[in-house]
Amino acid sequence: MPPTVSCPRCGAANRVSAERLRRGAQAVCGRCRAPLPAPSEVLEVSDRHFDEQVLSSPLPVLLDVWAPWCVPCRGMESVIEELASSLAGRVRVAKLNIDRSPEAMGRLRIQGVPTFIVFKDGHEVSRMVGSRGRADLLRVLAGVA
């Protein structure tokens, strides 16, 4: 079965053919016709679309709360990208830059970065602060993916 990709605009779940993507086709949402990210892309979220991209996601969401000036945050980039690729269609992997999203930072009560928050059905189910290994993140995601 093809992986499912959530539309960043309307949140609709869309099946995306990996073969068509390999041939260069652009996937679009079946509901609103917005371009869809590739199934393995890390989604950048912001204050403006936080509710629809994270809280309304039909898939569980691993949210990486980070800052560009944070050295440990930058060190986690390859782990986050690898998780997005390996969990495509089962978990949405997203990043929230605290410097660009102060409202979400306050709502989430972020006190340190990096912070990793897992959401399922619009609710926070787990939170970890500080750099983590791939195994730690997968262990937390095992209960929701």
How far is it, in rounded angstroms, from Cα 77 to Cα 79?
5
CATH 3.40.30.10 domain range(s) in the chain = 40-141
| pLDDT surpassing 60 at residue 5 | yes
Amino acid, single-letter form, for residue 14:
N
Q: Which CATH number fits domain 1-38: 2.30.30, 2.60.40, 3.30.70, 3.40.1350?
A: 2.30.30
Radius of gyration of the chain (CA): 15
- Where helices occur in the chain by DSSP H, the ranges are 18-22, 50, 71-75, 77-86, 102-107, 134-141
110, two tokens = 């972020």
Range list of β-strands (E), 49-145: 61-66, 92-97, 115-120, 123-129
Mark whether 73 is an active-site residue.
yes
pLDDT at 25: 72
Confidence class for position 85, pLDDT limits 50, 70, 90: confident
CATH code linked to domain 40-141: 3.40.30.10
Averaged confidence pLDDT in the chain: 88
Catalytic residue among 7, 10, 29, 70: 70
How far is it, in rounded angstroms, from Cα 38 to Cα 73?
23
Average pLDDT for 62-85: 95
Confidence class for position 1, pLDDT limits 50, 70, 90: low
CATH 2.30.30 domain range(s) in the chain = 1-38
Residue 63 burial by Cβ neighbours in a 10 Å radius (0-12, 13-18, 19+): buried
Catalytic residue among 7, 10, 32, 73: 73
Mark whether 32 is an active-site residue.
no
pLDDT in tens, 13-71: 888 776 666 566 778 899 999 988 766 678 999 998 899 889 988 889 999 999 999 99
- Percentage of the chain lying above the pLDDT 70 cut: 91
| pLDDT surpassing 70 at residue 74 | yes
